[in-house]
């Protein structure tokens, strides 16, 4: 029996990927190379330092750990500037309604994000109170595809991982959810076919009873 829904943030509740892309690209450009939006797909759901390592590899650049930390910090400063203006208008279609319907159906809700900035973002979006539990990149130390973020969500909600459904837009995130033994709902159009147990373009035309 399904007791909880766990939601990824970026790509499911809101679209912060474009701001991450803008900031990482600015950093890459300063280092003298560029990368495409298609490549950016590989960074979705992946933590900050892992993302940086991938980008540096694409640019064929090797740096010391201190230099990497400095660059990751610089990228985050730019990212924080870009997300200043985030408001309820930036919720993806149907996100708020789906969260409300989930709670009305008596199903618990958790946020399961790799982002260290997830909590200020859900505050700006005005949906923080719709989550029973918030797991972000400060609580979860291992990046998706490690299942840690979702297992922590289940544990804080006090439900069996097998009673949870995860809503995810990224490949790393779907792999993380599967590793946690959870049923997966893929959101968006970027996932390879057949990866998630159930696939939908957005939360807009979903109801909790369709996915259970
Ligand atoms: P930060 P999610 C992830 O969020 C993003 O998809 C990913 O692109 C980003 O690098 C990661 O958070 C870390 O974000 O730099 O803010 O800590 O999809 O797991 O909600
Ligand atoms: Mg995501």
pLDDT in tens, 6-44: 999 999 999 999 999 999 999 999 999 999 999 999 999
CA dihedral sign, ordered 77, 80, 81, 82: positive
Query: Does the predicted TM-score (pTM) go above 0.90?
Result: yes
Give the distance (Å) from ligand 1 centre to CA of residue 138: 11
Task: Establish whether the linkage from the previous residue to 145 is cis, with ω within 30° of 0.
Answer: yes
Place of tokens 């994000």: 113
Pocket of ligand 1 contains residue 96 by CB under 6 Å = no
Span from the CA of 44 to the centroid of ligand 2 (angstroms): 6
Read off the pLDDT of residues 106-163 as tens digits, 9 standing for 90 and up: 999 999 999 999 999 999 999 999 999 999 999 999 999 999 999 999 999 999 999 9
Q: How far apart are CA 40 and CA 16, in angstroms?
A: 12
Quick one: pLDDT at residue 95?
Answer: 98
Is 8 one of the catalytic residues? yes
Instruction: Supply the mean pLDDT for the chain.
Output: 97
Binding site, by residue number, is 8-10, 24, 43-48, 51, 75, 113-117, 144, 168-169
If you average pLDDT over residues 176-186, what whole number do you get?
98
Q: How far is the CA of 69 from the centre of ligand 2 (A)?
A: 23
Residues with CB under 5 A from ligand 2 (ion): 8, 10-11, 45, 169-170
Residue 101 pLDDT class (50, 70, 90 cuts): very high
Burial 158-188 (b: 16+ CB within 10 A, else e): ebebebbbbbbbbbbbbbbbbbbebbbbbbb
The per-residue pLDDT for 153 is 98
What is the per-residue pLDDT for 125? 98
Q: Output the CA 32–ligand 2 centroid distance in Å.
A: 28
CA-CA distance, 75 to 200, in Å (whole number)?
32
83 with 45: CB under 8 angstroms? no
Please name which of 82, 22, 40 lies closest in space to residue 171, comparing C-alpha atoms: 40
ipTM: 0.93
**CB 11 within 8 Å of CB 39:** no
Tell me if 195 sits within 8 A of 186, measured CB to CB: yes
The mean pLDDT value for 44-63 works out to 97
Beta strands of the chain (E only): which ranges?
4-7, 108-112, 133-135, 164-168, 183-187, 198-200
Q: 123-128 long-range contacts, Cβ below 8 Å, gap at least 24?
A: 124/83, 124/86, 124/87, 124/90, 125/13, 125/14, 125/86, 125/87, 125/88, 125/90, 125/91, 126/87, 126/88, 127/13, 127/88, 127/91, 127/95, 127/96, 127/99
Q: 136 CB less than 6 Å from ligand 1?
A: no
6, 10, 82, 175: which to mutate for ligand 1, most atoms within 8 A of CB?
10
The CB of 124 under 6 Å from ligand 1? The reply is no
**Whether 132 is catalytic:** no
% of the chain at pLDDT higher than 70: 100
Q: Write out the two tokens for 196.
A: 């998630």
């Amino acid at each position: 029996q399904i007791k909880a829904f766990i939601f990824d943030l970026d790509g499911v509740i809101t679209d912060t990927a474009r701001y991450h892309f803008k900031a990482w690209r600015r950093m890459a450009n300063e280092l003298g190379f560029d990368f495409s939006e298609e490549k950016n797909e590989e960074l979705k759901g992946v933590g900050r330092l892992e993302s940086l390592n991938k980008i540096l590899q694409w640019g064929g650049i090797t740096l010391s750990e201190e230099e990497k930390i400095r660059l990751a910090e610089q990228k985050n400063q730019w990212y924080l500037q870009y997300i200043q203006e985030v408001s309820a208008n930036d919720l993806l279609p149907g996100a708020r309604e789906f969260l409300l319907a989930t709670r009305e159906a008596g199903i618990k809700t958790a946020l399961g994000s790799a982002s260290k900035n997830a909590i200020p973002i859900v505050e700006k979006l005005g949906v923080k109170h719709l989550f029973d539990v918030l797991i972000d990149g400060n609580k979860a130390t291992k990046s998706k595809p490690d299942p840690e973020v979702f297992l922590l969500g289940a544990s804080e909600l006090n439900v069996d991982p097998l009673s949870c459904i995860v809503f995810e837009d990224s490949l790393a995130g779907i792999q993380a959810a599967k590793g946690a033994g959870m049923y997966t709902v893929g959101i968006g159009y970027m996932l390879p076919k057949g990866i998630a147990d159930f696939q939908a373009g957005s939360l807009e035309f979903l109801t909790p009873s369709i996915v259970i």
